[in-house]
A and B are shown apart, each in its own frame.
Chain A
Amino acid sequence: MTSKTEQALIQKAFQERMDEDELMNCMRCGFCLPSCPTYIESGRQEAQSPRGRIALMKAVVDGLIEPDEEVERALNLCLGCRACEPVCPSGVRYGHLLEEARDIIAQHKKMPLPVRLIRKLVFAGLFPHQERMRKATALLGWYQRSGLRTFVRKIGLLRLLPASFRQMERVLPDVPTAKEMKERPHRLGPDGTVKKRVAFFAGCLMDTMFMATNDATLRLLQLAGCEVIIPPSQGCCGALHGHGGEKAMAKELAKRNIAAFEQLDVDYIVTNAGGCGAFLLEYGHLLKNDPQWCERAAAFAAKIKDISEVLVELGFDQRPLRVAPQTVTYQDSCHLRNVMKTVSAPRRLLRAIEGIEFREMKDADRCCGSAGIYNLVEPEMSMQILDYKMEMAKQTNATTIVTANPGCLLQMKLGIERVGWTGKVRAVHIVDLLLEAVEGAQAAKEEERIRKTS
């Protein structure tokens, strides 16, 4: 419960901090409604639509209503997928409004002690510290490899957890060892001549739990002719913090990353996670009121580019790529699509792979329900959205579902597990599939050579 005094404080902060021009820009035309997953899945409830949520925020600012439980509920249930932004004719930056509103509520609301402790542990204690991320991942690795996992699963200990956590445990990838995570490269030369000099944003989860995908990304960049710099002082992008009502911490993380990259003389800063990339891209907005940092943030943001865009620019889709025959579909990462505007590059790369029959699924641009930690905090809505996604995936008969963001990837794996396709359908990050295709083409060439010489 939010007490009356807290509500008054929140309301005051809304009036002081919410961008009134942005709120006024929404002219309530309703064009965003069909793009909103929660509006559709909630059975067309206006309070679960972007237009409704903006009206609620504005009403709090205008003093028409108090920021009560229902208002908070409406804001919490938003995925933050920002599918409403590209379709908004007035160009309302809904994501910024949501971020600010959530920050105000989180900073003024007295949360129960366990929630506060968990938030502190995750937001302040874990994600900003890469060595702790590694330790946590190593612990997970020990759980996976020591036989404990088998034991825990056997005795049904996981049944004590909510269903969504239980399923999540099953789909976590096999993580690298502590030693592997420690020995990360800082610079890699290209195969052949240098076409571009790029920096790689490694990410916190991507460089631990999904390290293999990061390695694949680096390999692809080398193959494409990039000299790659990986500054060791970089860290978590802060998206989780920014979206979760911890903007102050997000700003500190942003500054650390800007400082880590700004001295490098590179063409692009490459990312392989839509969620991180989009947040990095908006560092300029995040630090807009900080005179010391706003320009530096904007300069940093201007260099952010998704791996698929870089590869297409360097003609990667022209080189031999080959996998075993399979039907493939692609699930957009919301922030990659709606914020970074990367839509066609991944599709173009997939279509270039020999052996792949690419089939677009209906509503590929609709959120899968992962949305950061949404699937953990709002499991019911998340699973409802995921089930729809799986239904659409099924219609394509795809045996490979490709994504471009770790959260989406886990969610797809979760979906596959939920509908019992494990073993028949796989979910992969696009860079892993591309590397597989590079190797596939090389193997085919080798085979051809041997066949010819014998």
Chain B
Amino acid sequence: MRVETRRQARPLFRSARRQTISERVRRLIPNEAKKRLIEVVGAENYDDTKAGRLVYSYDATPQFQSLPDAVIAPRNTQEVAEIAKICNEYRIPIVPRGSGTNLCAGTCPVEGGVVLLFKHMNRILEIDEENLTATVQPGVVTLDLMKAVEEKGLFYPPDPSSMKISTIGGNINENSGGLRGLKYGVTRDYVLGLEVVLANGDVIRTGGKLAKDVAGYDLTRLFVGSEGTLGIITEATLKLIPMPETKQTMLALYQDLEAAARSVSKIIANKIIPATLEFLDQPTLEVVEDYARIGLPTDVKAVLLIEQDGPKEVVERDMKKMADICRSEQAVSVQLARSEEEAEALRTARRSALSALARLKPTTILEDATVPRSEIAKMVKAINEIAAKYQVKICTFGHAGDGNLHPTCPTDARDRDEMERVEKAFEEIFSKAIELGGTITGEHGVGAMKAPYLEWKLGPAGIAAMKAIKQALDPNNIMNPGKVFAKSTRKRVVVTR
């Protein structure tokens, strides 16, 4: 019965109608359950006031908002397990939430229930210099961990743009990427072991401080990127690596977008893996410069931000080689950052791209269609054609080195006609990405936002396999329901070209 009273997950782009959050007909948390939950965490860590719930009704995804029934902040794993047991018994959805910076509506409580906060579970438990690992609680802020390990000369590479405030728990659940993904991989590549509370309240440990471990299924990898739909991560052991000795940053400017894309492919084909290989197109450059004011050129069609790190000789050799490649591909200018401040300013500018785009219009739709890196030029070209076809503005930036692009559309949710065209344009972009051997999302996750498109990538059998796993671990569907799996799949746009 309860399912019927819950609202449907929202489609990707809601029309311009004012958002309304209707109270569900029946409260999801009976008084008895509330009493028991308060017994577990204490009254000060249970909030079901209207304002208290409102502020956890959203994350960084536009157009998604839904009130939870309560917000709970457990203090330890034992309390999380108790909460899971109670919620499982009463079929109350659980939505684990870090800082709510994800872009797939992964932490929007679309079916109500309790939002789980990790503000008390935010300690770095250990930095093991012998095994090169860090063991942390899920609420640790990503940048805080990076700084803590850097003090010991160590390096935790995954660096999502929101790292100043995102949490490790959130990063693991979303399998966050970042600027360094090309050379160093993503969050997945740095998770060695997990402590997870399952839907039935069982606490399991996967992996450990081990470089090799083939005892059973690789559950660590299964939970990384599971978006809170399989269990609640309460502790993680992360891999660290030695800090690279030096780093250099350079900027290559192009008057031709495809020439920039060709440079990317050619750098990789020449067997150089740069630490960063970022791409920004002209519309993006303009807004980033307007925001960051660091002297980025705005009269060129595209920019590549290239970094290499490692031993000094290797870095210098690679940078020279890459500069030559860029020039041979008609880069109009190739400049090396003269100081760390200058390099940091360039990186910061790139990081703020999304947000700077948000200045153009009230609503910003950011996507992360991803293709094999050899297909970058084709994808960028297709995006421009699609934008022209639907008469929408799409700025593209992204991690060119790993084929992960962020076509971004500044728009206004109140303009219903434009929103419809934006929706069609993005559907066509997803479709094109898949056609080129790519995917609908490279690093943002599926959440509620991309769920209707997941089948395009996986096919019905792929969805069925994933659902079987979900069913086995969470038979009552209390773990972040309404995410990953959609109630219905979007009709695939047929690309005729």
A residues with CB within 8 A of B? 21, 24-25, 27-31, 33-34, 43-47, 49, 52, 55-56, 59, 62-66, 68, 70-71, 73-74, 88-91
Contacts and interface: CB of A to CB of B under 8 A. Distances in A.
B355 A56 contact: no
Interface stretch (B49-57, B221-229, B304-312): B49-57
Chain B contact-residue range equals: 35 or more
Contacts of A73: 51
Contact of B54 (A27, A55, A89): A55
Contacts of A49: 55
Contact of A55 (B58, B99, B354): B58
B54 A62 contact: no
B21 A64 contact: yes
A98 to B, nearest CB: 16
Interface string B19-48: 111000000000000000000000000000
Give the 7 A-B CB pairs with smallest separation, nearest first.
Answer: A89-B355, A70-B51, A24-B362, A90-B358, A52-B55, A46-B55, A44-B119
B59 to A, nearest CB: 7
A194 B149 CA distance: 56
A29 B354 CA distance: 9
A174 B58 CA distance: 51
Given A25-B362, A70-B50, A91-B359, A33 B58 contact: no
Given A52-B55, A62-B18, A70-B51, 19 more contacts: A21-B362, A24-B412, A24-B413, A25-B359, A27-B62, A28-B61, A30-B99, A30-B165, A33-B165, A34-B141, A47-B51, A56-B51, A64-B67, A66-B50, A70-B49, A70-B52, A74-B55, A89-B352, A90-B355
A24 B162 contact: no
A282 to B, nearest CB: 20
Contacts, number: 100
Interface in B129-162: 141, 162
Contacts of A64: 19-21, 54, 67
Contacts of B412: 24
A266 B333 CA distance: 46
A74 B355 contact: no
Contact of A62 (B19, B291, B363): B19
Q: Is the interface of B mostly helix, strand, loop or mixed?
A: loop
A31 B101 CA distance: 8
B116 interface: no
A56 B59 contact: no
B370 interface: no
A34 B164 contact: yes
A56 B49 CA distance: 12
B162 A68 contact: no
Given A65-B50, A70-B49, A89-B291, A29 B363 contact: no
B477 interface: no
B355 A31 contact: yes
Contacts of A56: 51, 54-55
B323 interface: no
A91 B70 CA distance: 32
Nearest to B67: A64
Given A34-B164, A62-B18, A89-B291, A29 B358 contact: yes
B447 interface: no
Contacts of A30: 60, 99-101, 162, 165
Interface centre among A31, A34, A43, A45 (most CB of B within 10 A): A31
A27 B101 CA distance: 10
Given A56-B54, A66-B50, A90-B355, A27 B164 contact: no
B267 interface: no
Interface in B94-139: 99-101, 117, 119-120, 122
B52 A28 contact: no
B377 interface: no
26 contacts: A21-B362, A24-B413, A27-B60, A28-B59, A28-B62, A29-B358, A30-B60, A30-B162, A30-B165, A34-B164, A43-B120, A44-B117, A44-B119, A46-B56, A55-B55, A64-B21, A65-B51, A65-B54, A68-B51, A74-B51, A74-B55, A89-B352, A90-B355, A90-B358, A91-B291, A91-B359
Contacts of A47: 51-52, 55
Interface string B284-300: 00000001000000000
Contacts of B364: 27
Nearest to B291: A89
A29 B58 contact: no
Contacts of A21: 362
A31 B18 contact: no
Contact of A33 (B20, B57, B61, B99): B99
Contacts of B86: none
